[in-house]
Amino acid sequence: MWRSTSKISHHLQYPDGITHVYSYFESRGGKFPQTLFFGLQYILKRWLCGQVVTKEKIAEAKEICQLHFGQDIFNEEGWNYILEKHNGYLPIQVKAVPEGTVVPVKNVLFTVENTDPKCYWLTNYLETLFVQCWYPMTVSTGSYFQKILLAEYLESTADDFSSLPFMLHDFGFRGASCVEGAGIGDAAHLVNFKGTDTLAGLMFARKYYGCKMAGFSIPATEHSTITTWGKDGEVNGFRNMLEKFPNGIVACVSDSYDIWNACENLWGEELRDLVIERGKRNGKLVIRPDSGDPVAVVLKVLNILGSKFGTVTNKKGFKELPPYLRIIQGDGICYEMLDKILGAMKQEGWSANNLAFGSGGALLQKLDRDTQKCAFKCSSMTNENGLFNVFKDPITDPGKKSKKGHLTLERQGDGFLTVEEGKGDPAKDLLDVVYENGKLLKYYTFDDVRKQAEIEKLQT
């Protein structure tokens, strides 16, 4: 029965006389050693700006709580105070590291404190919303480390990084939990890349980060548009793509029946001249296998296409298909699989710039709050006797030990340092006041975020 957020009872649980509760958000560790901070601005704009408390909302909340708890624990006085004293604007201050900053784990990423002493209970009431930034942060972090991996393979097997921005395409819309989640996750991916099929992310980036067009895609077949031509008509479905889109890039999924036959005889013989002709008009064909063992299939497709269309050797000594011909592998892709495929390709002398990848479930869905161990903890409280450190330090998990006192995030060499117990230098604090009393005080555009997050290799 007690499945609800018990936070509604918390205003009754603090010691008397408290005037301020100060809490912070961090990634305690997990899959990756750093986290790319992204998505707080969305949470602030979507839920916490302007008059968010009204008479009607208070009445409804009161009714819901009475029904739900079967007793009167709703903080009606507290919410009425916010409505009357602050006109429904939340008396809260949020300080955060700039969006797009890549910070080693176990550092403070943002802090929250009430600005009105009577609203000490509000800081941690908002935890539920604030901690939901685990999702955009974790998607953006996974995408960021895939970008580093792809850049490393391009550095060792290709002449430049020009193919990097479109090398990992978001295929994850259909596998996301909901449209809103797909939008948040896709935007988080687009901090690092420019290829996506998840339209929701484009709308998200427009609405919350002022970006007119955050990602791009191309005409691509799916199995239905090919198999409706019948098995014997597969080649006609392929030819139709090349004719309906006489130039530019098109992608054709080619494993409906027999990927080997499709590469060898359909693309490699029957349509070969059309593919080459199209190439002369800056057309590009992207062949998409979509089944089988990704490593074996990619290598076999490369070898068949290489024998049919020829290859050139680039300055790093690795083979490249003609510029009008590429592959996209969108099945079974995750961080670990990228390394397996590109490692095998490098072993066989193939440049990484022969292919792009599509990722769906692994990119947007195969993660949770524990992937980067995101947590929100109270580290300081104030009462009439002054300011006190607050912390937890479970003997059953030292990894859950929390920080103490007021925190600053400072540069240390080419890294970061979280200074605790109010011992930091405010002049060196990287945490900016991004929100105060219902107003967003700092606004990061998507371009700002992309620049902040750019990987070393690509930093100009």
CB of 169 to ligand AOY, least distance (A): 5
> Quick count: other Cβ atoms within 10 Å of Cβ 215?
23
- Tell how far CA 261 is from the center of its chain: 38
Contacts with ligand AOY by CB under 6 A lie at 169, 171, 174, 197, 217-218, 220, 251, 286, 288, 328, 330, 358, 360
- Tell how far CA 439 is from the center of its chain: 25
Residue whose CB is less far from ligand AOY, 187 or 251? 251
- Rounded Cα gap, residues 182 and 408, in angstroms: 33
- Rounded Cα gap, residues 85 and 81, in angstroms: 6
Helices (H), 21-112: 40-43, 55-69, 76-86
Residue whose CB is less far from ligand AOY, 133 or 286? 286
Q: Which residue, among 86, 143, 138, 142, has the nearest Cα to 114 in the 3D structure?
A: 86
Annotated binding-site residue? 281: no
Annotated binding-site residue? 289: yes
CB of 174 to ligand AOY, least distance (A): 6
Residue whose CB is less far from ligand AOY, 96 or 182? 182
Contact (CB, 8 A) for 279 and 248: no
CB of 220 to ligand AOY, least distance (A): 4
- Rounded Cα gap, residues 191 and 454, in angstroms: 9
**Residue facing ligand AOY at closest CB distance:** 251
Contacts of residue 18, Cβ cutoff 8 Å, sequence gap at least 6: 120, 381, 382, 383
CB of 219 to ligand AOY, least distance (A): 8
Tokens representing residue 234 in the block: 């597969």
Annotated binding-site residue? 165: no
Instruction: Give how far Cα 102 sits from Cα of 235, 264, 431, Å.
Output: 47, 45, 13
Annotated binding-site residue? 278: no
Residue whose CB is less far from ligand AOY, 157 or 329? 329
Annotated binding-site residue? 288: yes
- Rounded Cα gap, residues 42 and 277, in angstroms: 47
CB of 92 to ligand AOY, least distance (A): 39
CB of 199 to ligand AOY, least distance (A): 10
Annotated binding-site residue? 290: yes
Residue whose CB is less far from ligand AOY, 197 or 234? 197
Residue whose CB is less far from ligand AOY, 26 or 170? 170
Residue whose CB is less far from ligand AOY, 283 or 358? 358
- Rounded Cα gap, residues 359 and 375, in angstroms: 27
Annotated binding-site residue? 174: yes
Residue whose CB is less far from ligand AOY, 122 or 328? 328
CB of 133 to ligand AOY, least distance (A): 26
Burial class from Cβ neighbours inside 10 Å (0-12, 13-18, 19+) for residue 234 reads buried
CB of 360 to ligand AOY, least distance (A): 6
32 sits in the region (left: phi over 0; alpha: psi -120 to 50; else beta) called: beta
Annotated binding-site residue? 223: yes
Contact (CB, 8 A) for 131 and 25: yes
Indicate the length of the chain as a whole number. Answer: 460
Binding-site residues from annotation for diphosphate: 174, 223, 288
Binding site, residues?
174, 197, 223, 288-290, 330-331, 361, 369
- Residue ranges for the known binding site for beta-nicotinamide D-ribonucleotide are 197, 288-290, 330-331, 361, 369
